[in-house]
Structure formats: structure tokens, C-alpha cells
Structure 1
Amino acid sequence: MDRALSALTAKERFAVSFSGWAADAVAPLSAFSGTVGQSIHGLVIETNEGLGGKALALQKPVAAANYHSSREITHRYDREVRAEQIKTLVAVPVVVGRNVRALLYGGLRTRSGIGDDLLRFAFSAAKSVAWEISVEEEVQRRLRSAEADRVVLERGSSPARTQELTEQFAELRDLVRLMPDEETRERLEALGEAVFGTEARGQLRSDTLSARELEVVAQVALGHRNADIAETLFLKQSTVKAYLGSAMRKLGVKGRYQAVIAARAQRLIP
């Protein structure tokens, strides 16, 4: 979520951005970028109240070019919004499946028309958060299942069942590579070692490029600079640099364009 907020305020797209996790028809605001005070910190957004409440109800992005005079929303939170000097506001729900899981806001401190590019960027940030939530929940679901299956393997099972569980472990390992969560990676490594032996430890730290590393190298192949890549992937430039450095080490090269050549030679990128 923090990465999405940073992306929204990068290059002065929005002067301020904030968000909150949604549950039980409310979304308490809990993450902020560019705020000038504390007025909206901890504010609980209720369904159908204000711009965010409307986004919660519709499960669609909504915007107000002139927030304080809009007739399309209730004005329950006007005092808090005015204290932040926000005049133009966009609210985008993060939808996973059929449920709103979070709200993302982008605000301007001037009355301004909200162009399609700005709306698309805010929607893209919300989709990125939704994707991360989906991956994390799928990983946790599969990890719980794998831990339950561990008992089956320890007690002995048919070769076919053992092969099936081994393949499931491999799929889970690939999913975990999409996540930056070191705790989850360690949990999977420990599980793999317990079930398959010590050779499983280290599989997550193999020379295979992670999904993010491949994304970064692919962006380099398109001629993009680190700043452009960070913007596209909703990452910090330092994170892009770290992914690229890791990819170069794994590919055994010392330059970004050498990494592209090596990745193409291995048919990792087009």
C-alpha cells in the first residue's frame, strides 16, 4: 500500500494521497503521503458517506473536481478535507473478487479538471494493490494446505500422491517468489526442508530470476531508465536498482544491457 501511495504523489501527480483497509462497510484511513496535518489520520470512512463512501458503495472510482461544492456526495468529512486544503479528490476502491478491500485517495490542493490520464494512473495503482493482496492470500492459503499435507508425507503415501504434493510445493515456491515477504519465504523453506530434506532449503534463493527481477530486466530491454521503471512498476528507484543488481549477479554480468542480452539468450524475456 505504501508503494502505491508513493506512486500517486510521485512527480507531483497528486499533492496528497492516503488510504485505508476496508472491512464491514467502513475504511479507517491508516496510510498517508503528503498530508500537512493530522485531520484525516484515523478518520473512519463509512459506506455512502463522502467521496470514499460512494466509491465503497459503487465499487468504482469516483472523482470530484470541486469537492466542497459537489452535489454528488455527502459532505460529512468536509471539515477534515478542508483542513488538508484539498479541493480536488479522487477515490478508488481496491476490489479483490467482489469485495472492496481498501480505498486509495489522490488529492489536489487546487481546483482542477481530472483528466483521463490521472484517473487511469490512480486506477492502475489500485489494481496493483489488488494483485498483491490476491497473490499474498493465495500464497497463505497454499502454505496452510502444504503444512497440512506435510503430515501425509511424513506418515508415508503413494508415489503418485508424493509426486502431486511435490508439484504443489514447486508451484507454491514460484508464487512466493512474487512476494517480498521474507517471513513467508522462510516459512516455506522450513516446510520444504522438513518434508523434502535439506536440499529444499535454498531453492527459493536459486539463480532463477524472480518475477520482479524479470519485470525490471524486461523494462530495461524496452530502453526505460530506472526512474521510468519505478513509475511503471510502482517501486522506489532504489528498489529497482536492487532488483537489477540482483538480476545481474544471477546472470553473471556487470551491466544493465548485458543483463538484457543474457536474459534473452536464456529466453527469459522476449
Structure 2
Amino acid sequence: MATDAAEAAQMRGALMRLRRETGLVVAFGGLVEPGRDQVRISELNGTRTTSLSALAVSSGNGLGGKVAALARPYAVSDYFASRRISHEYDTAVAAEGLRSVLAVPVVVRRRVRGVLYGALRSVQPLGDRTLSAAVEAARDLEQSLVVRDEAYGLLAAARSLGAAEGHERSGTSERAQSSARERLREAYGALRALAPRVADPVLRAELLSVCETLAASPGPPRSARRVRLTPRELDVLACVAVGTTNAAAADRLGLRAETVKAYLRSAMRKLGARTRLEAVVAARRAGLLP
């Protein structure tokens, strides 16, 4: 499966940061192809040729393959003279005129998902500061991929729960229905908390669309009262609805505890509620929360 547009954009951003922070003149990289033990070079930055484009680097082979196999960064001051790597890809590297090259793994949940490279066209040592800066660029990409993985996992779970909630369940016990509704509410809260962290606008919109679907799922009768809450007020209420403290909600949403309190007070005022519980109940009656 090819790298999608959002992943490609994230990879380009990581390569731009790698060049900016290290001063290396060339950067390139790619992700591990699903179901295959190889990295496909998909993005180039600062290159003069297309010799590295779409290159498939097998695990263990060359500099990048060694990094992918060991899951740790590595650098060579003279690529062609190095005896610590194999040389299956010398032709492509020579065509681009590269000599000093480093590679760092992109590791997500203990699994190598890709490799970032940086290079010079001259022979010179690449010091610890350069390697550390390249590692930081890889860490940024790792966090972006983690958020995307979480988003897709939550989307799948939430859609499954929403579909189950929407079906008629004759013969299902009240206790089972209550448990299913609670899981749906937890999924809703997790989606609301994750959405602001998603850089991809299409994926973020999809998360929020599923949130709206979950909030509209069948449940207790809705009130006719129309209340307008801001996205952040809904985020905070979604956390409160599953028993999260203000401090925990702040950590989950990337806000300060005082900011969470301010959003909660504002939501309570709009809902005519005097307590957190009343606010959650009112929001559910108004169809704002599942």
C-alpha cells in the first residue's frame, strides 16, 4: 500500500526539520511497506537527481537497512569506504553524489515504521549533535504517526459501537444496554480529546463527524432546548461525562487546569446547570453528548 497524502506531508515536514536543524544538504526517507520487510524511499529533499526515488531498502542491507534492523541510529563519514554496512545501493547513492550519510529509525510502539536519512556531498564526520538533531526530527514524525494510529483505531471502535447502539436489541438486558452506552460515551470522549491533536484536516473532520453521529445515537429522550457550546466546552464536558477530573482533563486535552475550569463554568452557565453532573445530564438531553 502506498504512503497516503497525509503521511507524505508528515514525512516532508520531518525531512525539512532534519535539514534545518542539522545543516545537512540532503534529506530523504520512507516508511516500511505493509507486509514487506523493506523501506520504500518516498520523499526527497535537497536532491539533484531521482536516483533514490522509490528505492526499496531491505532490512539489514545498506545503511538504512541496518538502522531498520537494529532500530537505532547510525552514521558513516564515508559511505563507500565503510566496512560496517553492506553496499547494495552504492549506485543510487553515487548518482546523487553523497558521501557522509546518517540514518535514524522511526519507531512507533516498538516497531520500526520508517527511516530518515541526512547526508553531505563531502567526506566528514557527523558528530553527536548532528545525530541528536536528526533523532529529534524522527521523534516528531513518530508522534504524528502515533496520533494517526490512535485516530483510526478510535474511529473503527466508535463506528462499531455507534452501529450497535443504533440497532434494535430486543431481548437485550438493561444492564447490557447500559454497559454498551457507557463504552460509546468513553469512545466519544476519547475522540473529542484526540481530534485537536490531529494535523490532517480531513482526518480531524472525520473524527468530529463521528462524534456528532455518536452524540445523536438513540438514548434517553432529548429536550427541545437548543444550546450552543464551543468545541472546547464540548471537549471538557466529554471528559467530565466519563468521570475525568479537571487535572486529568487538562492533561488529556493539552490545556491548563484553570482553562478547563473556565470552559466547564461557561458550559454549565449555558446549560443552566449548578453542578458538573447536572451539566452532563443537560448536555445529553440537548443531544450534545451521547
* Residue number in structure 2 paired with 1:192: 211
Equivalent position to 1:104, from 109, 112, 116: 116
Distance 2:25 2:234 in 1: 39
Equivalent position to 2:81, from 30, 55, 69: 69
Asked if structure 1 preserves the Cα contact closer than 8 Å seen for 2:22 and 2:134, the reply is no
* Residue number in structure 1 paired with 2:192: 173
Query: Tell me, what secondary structure is at the counterpart of 2:115?
Result: strand
Query: Tell me, what secondary structure is at the counterpart of 2:197?
Result: coil
Query: Tell me, what secondary structure is at the counterpart of 1:107?
Result: strand
Change (3 A) 1:112 1:207: farther
Provide the aligned C-alpha RMSD in A.
2.8
* Residue number in structure 2 paired with 1:10: 20
AA in 1 matched with 2:24: F
Offset at residue 207 of structure 1 (A): 7.0
* Residue number in structure 2 paired with 1:47: 59
Offset at residue 57 of structure 1 (A): 1.6
1:139 aligns with 2:158: no
Query: Tell me, what secondary structure is at the counterpart of 1:76?
Result: coil
Change (3 A) 1:12 1:114: closer
AA in 2 matched with 1:16: V
Asked if structure 2 preserves the Cα contact closer than 8 Å seen for 1:47 and 1:54, the reply is yes
1:230-269 equivalence runs, <5 A: 266=259
Distance 1:11 1:169 in 2: 38
AA in 2 matched with 1:154: G
Offset at residue 11 of structure 1 (A): 5.9
Query: Tell me, what secondary structure is at the counterpart of 1:177?
Result: helix
Asked if structure 2 preserves the Cα contact closer than 8 Å seen for 1:85 and 1:109, the reply is yes
Q: How many residues align?
A: 214
1:60 aligns with 2:72: yes
Offset at residue 120 of structure 1 (A): 0.7
Offset at residue 12 of structure 1 (A): 6.1
Offset at residue 168 of structure 1 (A): 2.2
Asked if structure 1 preserves the Cα contact closer than 8 Å seen for 2:39 and 2:115, the reply is yes
Distance 1:9 1:91 in 2: 13
Larger Rg: 2
1:185-221, Cα deviation, whole Å (9 max, x unpaired): 222232222231399xx97844799xxxxxxxxxxxx
* Residue number in structure 1 paired with 2:129: 117
Moved more, 31-40 or 122-131: 122-131
Query: Tell me, what secondary structure is at the counterpart of 2:101?
Result: strand
Change (3 A) 1:44 1:150: same
AA in 2 matched with 1:44: A
Question: Structure 1: which 5+ runs fail to align?
Answer: 210-262
Distance 1:82 1:181 in 2: 36
Query: Tell me, what secondary structure is at the counterpart of 1:70?
Result: coil
Distance 1:184 1:114 in 2: 38
Q: TM-score, normalised by structure 1?
A: 0.71
Change (3 A) 1:114 1:207: farther
Change (3 A) 1:204 1:63: farther
Distance 1:113 1:126 in 2: 21
* Residue number in structure 2 paired with 1:228: none
1:130 aligns with 2:149: no
Asked if structure 2 preserves the Cα contact closer than 8 Å seen for 1:20 and 1:102, the reply is yes
Q: TM-score, normalised by structure 2?
A: 0.66
Distance 1:46 1:9 in 2: 25
Distance 2:230 2:75 in 1: 43
Distance 1:75 1:195 in 2: 54
Identity %: 30
Question: Structure 2: which 5+ runs fail to align?
Answer: 1-10, 169-173, 223-227, 236-255, 262-290
Query: Tell me, what secondary structure is at the counterpart of 1:101?
Result: strand
Asked if structure 1 preserves the Cα contact closer than 8 Å seen for 2:154 and 2:191, the reply is yes
Asked if structure 1 preserves the Cα contact closer than 8 Å seen for 2:40 and 2:54, the reply is yes
* Residue number in structure 2 paired with 1:216: none
Change (3 A) 1:148 1:265: closer
